[in-house]
Amino acid sequence: MQAHRRQTLWLAALIHRLSGLLLAIFLPIHFLVLGLAIESEAKLENFLRWTENPLVKFAEMGLVFLLTVHLLGGARLLVLENFPWRVWQKLFATIAVGISALIAFGFLFRVM
């Protein structure tokens, strides 16, 4: 692995890009489910029953994690682009991932 790819901020940028990509993949699925609500109440009800599956709950936790990571990564980029560079920003990138994980696990424990 190249030296720059082991730096925390490079990893934070990679995570931000990957979370954006995964959220973009999720969005059409979300729209299809919303379409079920318009199409038929019975189809939506069947889908909502399926979402009670523990694996779906775990996937929802992943979605909350992706949303939080992407939000905090975007905030990190705003700071990088609009304020002078500081070395301690690496620490905040690491903290952002930790906060994202805590929020996602908190969501999982709440819905399980």
Is pLDDT above 60 for 1?
A: no
- Across all residues in the chain, what is the average pLDDT? 83
Phi, psi of 18, deg, nearest 5 = -65, -40
N- to C-terminal Cα separation, the chain: 39
19 half-sphere exposure, CB direction, 13 A CA radius: 21
Which three-class secondary structure state does DSSP give residue 47? helix
* 56, two tokens: 């779906």
Contacts of 84 (CB under 8 A, 6+ apart): none
What pLDDT, in 10s, does the model give residues 20-45? 999 999 999 999 988 988 888 888 89
What pLDDT, in 10s, does the model give residues 96-110? 778 888 888 888 778
Domains of the chain: 3-111 (1.20.1300.10)
Enter the pTM of the model.
Answer: 0.69
**pLDDT for 25:** 93
